[in-house]
Structures are given as structure tokens and as C-alpha cells.
Structure 1
Amino acid sequence: MSRTVRCTVSSMNYSACGMKEGDWFDVGPDGFRMPDGAHFCYFAVASVLPLINGRIDSDDVDAWLDSSPVVQCPDPPEALRMTLSRAPEVSA
């Protein structure tokens, strides 16, 4: 089963890239998506993608997402944490 994963900023000390809590992006079979006009730190995105790769097509993706995995941006002083979850269904 292929699933779209939402990555949402859940906490941080500060953000050098202008991120704020609640910012998000989705990754799924249709590619990468984020709100119009929004931005997301490339380093934060790069820390998430290897974890999602291979997971969104696995049989245990729902159990994995139910555990609310947390990923941290690679800049330690920022301590920007992002929670992974199922993305809401988008109607066409």
C-alpha cells in the first residue's frame, strides 16, 4: 500500500530558515507537495526523505505512522523537530 506522509514542524528552539510550528510538507506517490507560497528548509526536508523512502510502499506503513515518528533537522542548536503522520486525503 502506498501512503502519503505529512511532515509537520512540531517544536524548535529557533529557526534560521524562518520555519514555524505547524509548517508542513507531504511526500507520497504523487511527489512532494506543500501549501502554495510556503517554504521549507532544504536541510530539514533532506533529513526526512531517506526515512520515508521505501516506507511509504511497505505493508507496515500504517503501524509505523501510528507511532508518530519524530525527525530532527541536522542543525543541533535549532532542535527543529518534525512529526510524521498520514496526510489527509485530498479530493480531486
Structure 2
Amino acid sequence: MTEPQEPDQSPRTQLYDLSVVVERIEGRSVCGMKVGDRIDLVQSSRLCLPEGGHFCMYALQAVMPLLPAKQRQLPPGDWLERDDLVACPDPDERLIMRIVRTGIRSMKTEELT
């Protein structure tokens, strides 16, 4: 006879899934990106492109340091809770991206890196 299993008591962390979306291009798009292009961050660490899509690695490197913080609920007074625009470092492009929270998921803390 098997003993009844206790509910999983593992600590859990709430994380947002995110999309980084090209909101506007104020210069010329040297990298071939256009308004509406996006990359999604899901399940804590998975970057996903839409079928046939691409995302400039220089634009991505500008937004990468902010993503772990945007995945978490921050205090209301925190500037990063309010701000969600990031500029690509290429001054000729002046490409502006928006970080959008697309959903929230509960994950076992021990499974996070």
C-alpha cells in the first residue's frame, strides 16, 4: 500500500514572461528590424523568436541587463517598475524597444538558475 503523498511544498518564485517589442525607429534601420518585431523571454530563461523572425544582437544586448529585474514584481516606487523603454546603442538607428510583461508563472525556485 502506498502512503498518500504530501502536496509539493517546494519554495516557488513568481516570474513574468516578457516580450521585447520594437516600438519605433527614429532613424534608419541598419539591422533590418521593423516596428512590431519582437523576442519573447519565457520560463525564466528561454528566448524565443516568432517563426522567421530575427532580432539584432546589438539591440538585444542593450535590453538584456534589465530583463531579470523586469521578470520580478518590484516595489511601486522603483523606477524600473514604471519605465519600460530601452534604446538600441546604434545612434543612426535610434531604435526604441518596449519591455512588455505578457504573463506570470509560478516556478519551483530550485529549478531556476
The counterpart of 2:46, out of the listed 10, 31, 40, is 31
Post-superposition CA distance 1:40-65 (Å, at most 9, x none) = 10001111111112441x3328982x
Partner of 2:85: 70
Distance 1:61 1:7 in 2: 21
Give percent identity, aligned residues only.
31
TM-score scaled by structure 1? 0.80
TM-score scaled by structure 2? 0.66
Indicate yes or no: 2:49 matched with 1:10. no
1:73-84 equivalences in 2 (<5 Å): 73-84=88-99
Check whether the contact 2:16–2:103 (CA below 8 A) recurs between aligned residues.
no
Displaced runs of 4+ in structure 1, greater than 3 A? Answer: none
Check whether the contact 1:68–1:85 (CA below 8 A) recurs between aligned residues.
no
Distance 1:76 1:5 in 2: 25
Structure 1: gaps of 5 or more residues: none
Structure 2: gaps of 5 or more residues: 1-13, 105-113
Q: Could you say what the CA RMSD is over the residues aligned between the two structures, in angstroms?
A: 2.3
Q: Compare CA radii of gyration and give the structure with the larger one.
A: 2
Check whether the contact 1:55–1:61 (CA below 8 A) recurs between aligned residues.
no
Partner of 2:63: 48
Aligned with 1:51: secondary structure?
Answer: helix
Q: Which has the higher strand share?
A: 2
